[in-house]
Amino acid sequence: MWAETERLRKSIDELEFLRRLGDGTLPLDVFRTYIEQDALYLAGYAKALALLAARCPDPVTGGFWARCAATAATVELSLHEGLLTGGTLPEPVGPVTHSPACLGYVSYLIAAAATEPYPVAAAAVLPCFWIYADVGRRLAASAKDVLAGDPSHPYAQWVAAYDAPEFQEEVVAACAAVDRAAQDATESERAAMLDAFVIASRYELMFWDTALHPTPWPAA
């Protein structure tokens, strides 16, 4: 899966949004848009993880997915709420609704978790863990000078959260869970797992890119 998405992940690393997030030059209104959309995404992602937990054939692994769902719905959303209401970011300009990329991504994950075989559903939710962790490490390195100069910089909390050892450990556990699912899957399911991972990785790229280069709804 990681090798198959190498070009996609390279494109993610080269996104202007992530480069400017890392060097601290991303406009605050763009960062607010990203956080608003990410909060909407997390609410849907938590639902997908909860569905995955309910359908997991192994109760121990099911408990892991359930804990991840609870973390997304509480800890991570709390971080986003703090950023949105802390007074550092600009005030909202209107009601917040899903962007096309955000709605497409969460709809795909929820549908996969509800209707696909467990191994395929597990592969679909993995890019959010794995690619976020990879990007978080890269951002932490590129943002080191920014954070040293201003530890309260509004982007610092996001970078710190996704480069935190606890999150990185959770990612390792998620990868292991998907590996176990692949071992028990059929050949056709393993092929579908790869497809699901690629599709979700494409949505990762689109989600980040549209924060800086939005794609409005038709006739909006």
What does the pLDDT look like over 190-207, one tens digit per residue?
Answer: 999 999 999 999 999 999
The CA–CA distances, whole Å, from 113 to 122, 177, 179 equal: 8, 15, 17
Reported as a single tens digit per residue, the pLDDT across 148-203 is 777 777 777 677 767 778 888 999 999 999 999 999 999 999 999 999 999 999 99
Q: Identify the H or E element spanning 159.
A: helix 156-162
Q: Is the pLDDT score of 37 beyond 80?
A: yes
To which H or E segment does residue 140 belong? helix 118-142
Higher per-residue confidence, 9 vs 143: 9
Residue 26: partners with Cβ closer than 8 Å, 6 or more residues away: 17, 20, 155, 212
Q: Which residues contact 177 (CB under 8 A, 6 or more apart)?
A: 61, 64, 65, 122
Banded pLDDT at 139 (limits 50, 70, 90): confident
Distances in whole angstroms, Cα of residue 100 to Cα of each of 42, 74, 128, 129, 214: 15, 24, 18, 21, 9
For residue 210, count other CB atoms closer than 10 A to its CB: 19
Q: What's the pLDDT score for residue 147? A: 73
**pLDDT recorded at residue 157:** 66
Q: What is the pLDDT of residues 75-97, one digit of tens each?
A: 787 878 888 888 888 888 888 99
Phi, psi for residue 117 in degrees, rounded to 5: -55, 150
Domains of the chain: 6-89+97-212 (1.20.910.10)
Residue 65 has pLDDT above 80, yes or no: yes
Residue type for position 163: D
CA dihedral 61, 135, 1, 34 (to 10 degrees): 80
Q: What is the dihedral of CA 53, 157, 145, 134, to 10 degrees?
A: 10
